[in-house]
Amino acid sequence: MQINGECRVSRTAEETTPSPEDETGPARFDRIFGALRDRICLLAYPPGTVLSEVALAREFGISRTPIRRVFHKLEFMGLVQIRNGVGTIVTDIDLKTLKETYDLRKRLAELMGELSPVEITPDHLARIDDLIAETRALAPIRGDYDALARIINRLQGLLSDLTGNGPLREIIELLYYRVARIWFTFLPQLGWDDAIENQINELREIRTAMANNDIRSVGQYRSIDLQRMLTSLSRVLSEP
Amino acid sequence: MQINGECRVSRTAEETTPSPEDETGPARFDRIFGALRDRICLLAYPPGTVLSEVALAREFGISRTPIRRVFHKLEFMGLVQIRNGVGTIVTDIDLKTLKETYDLRKRLAELMGELSPVEITPDHLARIDDLIAETRALAPIRGDYDALARIINRLQGLLSDLTGNGPLREIIELLYYRVARIWFTFLPQLGWDDAIENQINELREIRTAMANNDIRSVGQYRSIDLQRMLTSLSRVLSEP
DNA sequence: CATGGTCATCCTGTATACAGCTTGATTTTA
DNA sequence: TAAAATCAAGCTGTATACAGGATGACCATG
């Protein structure tokens, strides 16, 4: 339990626009929402953190009202719980819900390739090549789990772009953001070398399927990887 | 396009608590949210209706602030679109998104029986027997499509209770509320007798599977019924 | 008559004061 | 001392005034 005012984690490289003065209303909402979502997802606000409306309102130079709107969206997504008189608390996930979510994500990943598949473009291939290259470049810099998490986020973004069915894409993203931080919390226990190796293997599998323009296989590989993650998580979380 | 102040549809039997004076905060939110969701779903507010914060605030005897929170949740669910300076507009669905949603719902219905199935209790059977009986009782009262829609809503509620996987249940419900009103809009074009007959057949299929404690078959039947709905919808919507 | 500008009038967005709730420290009491 | 009551300080929830955007009616102008 931490007050977000005290929890100034070294948010190095918060990759969002630095608050342009001429941004319109919805743009500001998206910027703040994305910033808070990423802080939660990337563990700058670990589960249990108490967020304060007034503190964040001060940080972003606005009043409580727009911050509350962002909080409500985060609550709908399941990332925080708003409790009257207490604060807005970053949620944790119990083991049962975590397993149910991964079971579902596995099946949705398979559907990704079956429902209105999209054509894979050279741009898509370039993006996954980038991810592979950056992961390899990251390997010697041992322990930068934050950078690794950002790469994993970008892989999810790429897979989203490969999901032709709009509602399915939306739901896959929603479930990803619900549980990604649990995986990120676990990564250090896996160890740097294993984490990097697993990640490169996953990226290479998916790249191979993409090169064959075989989205169905992309989904199948993703499903297998999710199963592997769930297995790793269960082993650690059930026997601490 | 209608102003909700003028659009006082005969909301006979709005089956919600009649605003008890001692209800706590979250209870009031749920009551108002449920009321507006049902009005949208049951076509008291058809697509294109413009909802006004002040009008609804007056109706429920509160200020704009809680109404705005409800609107934001409805927007997150995809039932309304909030437009600055204009109003909050009940959304319509384009044919492409409708098809994508039904394709996804079909697959999710199958998953219902596969992911952590629940035990079927006599209470569940009693509920579907109720639905069958009420539908039969409704048959002679030709043209009460609103009552039929409420029965369809309750079937969805029953199927939700048969979905053991929590996140899956949540998503199935979300997608149901997104497109149910489109089906309800279409029902009168199908004709009363066909609508009733289809509905009774669907209920009987599902009841049979439930009696065998076979949730997998429940999901399969539901999937087939969704396909049938999509076919009916496509036939009408693509050739007006 | 056609057309462009102006403005009145709705709406939602924002800021802010105040009310109500929660919690833990403090004080009182058995 | 231990336990119960009290209260202060923080938080979110609500109401409301005001700012800003969208739209259609109206009117001036070619």
In a domain, A186, yes or no: yes
- How high is the mean pLDDT of chain B? 90
Q: Which of A75, A29, A150 is nearest to B69 (CA)?
A: A75
Distance measured from the CA of protein residue B43 to the C1' of nucleotide D25, in angstroms: 31
* A96, containing H or E segment: helix A95-114
CATH number for the domain spanning B50: value is 1.10.10.10
Give residue-wise pLDDT tens across range B32-64: 999 999 999 999 999 999 999 999 999 999 999
Establish, for the pair of chains A and B, how many residue pairs have beta carbons separated by less than 8 Å: 57
Query: Long-range pairs for A126-132 at CB < 8 Å and ≥24 separation?
Result: A127/A154, A127/A158, A128/A155, A128/A158, A128/A203, A128/A206, A128/A207, A128/A210, A129/A207, A131/A155, A131/A158, A131/A203, A132/A200, A132/A203, A132/A204, A132/A207
Q: Indicate whether B211 and B117 sit together in one domain.
A: yes
Please report the pLDDT score of residue A14 as a whole number: 52
In a domain, A8, yes or no: no
In a domain, A61, yes or no: yes
A178 to chain B, minimum CA–CA distance in Å? 10
Q: Indicate whether B53 and B121 sit together in one domain.
A: no
The alpha carbon of residue A91 and the mean position of all alpha carbons in its chain are separated, in whole angstroms, by 14
**Chain A contact set for B101 (CB, 8 A):** 167
For A137-186, the three-class secondary structure string (H helix, E strand, C coil) is: HHCCCCCCHHHHHHHHHHHHHHHHHCCCCHHHHHHHHHHHHHHHHHHHHH
Q: Which of B201, B183, B47, B179 is nearest to B108 (CA)?
A: B179
Q: Indicate whether A70 and A107 sit together in one domain.
A: no
The alpha carbon of residue B224 and the mean position of all alpha carbons in its chain are separated, in whole angstroms, by 18
Q: Do B107 and A104 touch (CB under 8 A)?
A: no
- Mean pLDDT, range B194-221, rounded to an integer: 96
- Mean pLDDT, range A167-180, rounded to an integer: 98
Please answer whether residues B190 and B66 qualify as being in contact, where contact means their C-beta atoms are separated by less than 8 angstroms: no
Q: Indicate whether B73 and B102 sit together in one domain.
A: no
Percent of chain B with pLDDT over 70: 90
CATH number for the domain spanning A188: value is 1.20.120.530
Q: Indicate whether A59 and A132 sit together in one domain.
A: no
- How high is the mean pLDDT of chain A? 90
Nucleotide nearest to A84 (CA to C1'): D12
Q: Indicate whether B120 and B221 sit together in one domain.
A: yes
Domains contained in chain A, number: 2
Q: Do A115 and B100 touch (CB under 8 A)?
A: yes
Q: Do B100 and A165 touch (CB under 8 A)?
A: yes
CA dist B118 and B160 (Å) reads: 11
Please report the pLDDT score of residue B1 as a whole number: 43
A110 to chain B, minimum CA–CA distance in Å? 11
Distances (CA, A) of B179 to B13, B41, B70: 22, 8, 19
Distance measured from the CA of protein residue B83 to the C1' of nucleotide C12, in angstroms: 7
- Mean pLDDT, range B208-225, rounded to an integer: 96
Sheet of A87-90: strand order equals A50-51, A87-90, A80-83
Show the tokens assigned to B79.
């039932």
Distance measured from the CA of protein residue B54 to the C1' of nucleotide D24, in angstroms: 21
Amino acid sitting at position A140: P
- How big is the CA angle at B179 (ends B81 and B91), to the nearest 5 degrees? 20
Distance measured from the CA of protein residue A86 to the C1' of nucleotide D10, in angstroms: 8
Q: Indicate whether B170 and B183 sit together in one domain.
A: yes
Instruction: Give the number of other CB atoms < 10 A from CB of residue B29.
Output: 15
In a domain, A224, yes or no: yes
- Mean pLDDT, range B15-39, rounded to an integer: 79
Q: Indicate whether A99 and A80 sit together in one domain.
A: no
- β-pairing, A87-90 vs A50-51, is antiparallel
**Chain B contact set for A73 (CB, 8 A):** 72, 76
**Chain B contact set for A169 (CB, 8 A):** none
Show the tokens assigned to A149.
């998490």
Nucleotide nearest to A64 (CA to C1'): C15
Confidence band of A22 (pLDDT split at 50, 70, 90): low
Q: Do B104 and A69 touch (CB under 8 A)?
A: no
In a domain, B8, yes or no: no
Please report the pLDDT score of residue B116 as a whole number: 81
**Chain B contact set for A97 (CB, 8 A):** 166-167
> Domain boundary residue among A90, A106, A140?
A90
Direct distance between the N- and C-terminal alpha carbons of chain A, in angstroms, rounded to an integer: 21
Q: Indicate whether B113 and B29 sit together in one domain.
A: no
Q: Indicate whether A69 and A112 sit together in one domain.
A: no
Lowest pLDDT segment from A230-239, B54-63, B203-212 = A230-239
Please report the pLDDT score of residue A7 as a whole number: 40
A104 to chain B, minimum CA–CA distance in Å? 7
B168 to chain A, minimum CA–CA distance in Å? 7
Distance measured from the CA of protein residue B54 to the C1' of nucleotide D20, in angstroms: 18
In a domain, B13, yes or no: no
In a domain, A151, yes or no: yes
Q: Which of A104, A177, A182 to mutate: most B Cβ within 10 Å?
A: A104
CA dist A167 and A152 (Å) reads: 22
Q: Indicate whether B82 and B121 sit together in one domain.
A: no
Q: Which of B168, B173, B227 to mutate: most A Cβ within 10 Å?
A: B168
| pTM confidence score | 0.91
Give bridge partners of residue B90 from the DSSP assignment: B80
Domain of B108? 95-238
B80 to chain A, minimum CA–CA distance in Å? 15
Q: Is the pLDDT of residue A19 over 60?
A: no
In a domain, A29, yes or no: yes
> Domain boundary residue among B72, B90, B108?
B90
Q: Indicate whether B125 and B178 sit together in one domain.
A: yes
Q: Do B168 and A84 touch (CB under 8 A)?
A: no
Taking the stretch 44-103 of protein chain A, residues with Cβ within 7 Å of any atom in nucleic acid chain C are 62-66, 69, 83-86
Please report the pLDDT score of residue A5 as a whole number: 39
Query: Which SS3 state, helix, strand or coil, does residue B161 take?
Result: helix
**Chain B contact set for A178 (CB, 8 A):** 167
> Domain boundary residue among A42, A61, A90?
A90
Please report the pLDDT score of residue B25 as a whole number: 76
Give residue-wise pLDDT tens across range A45-96: 999 999 999 999 999 999 999 999 999 999 999 999 999 999 999 999 999 9
Confidence band of A9 (pLDDT split at 50, 70, 90): very low
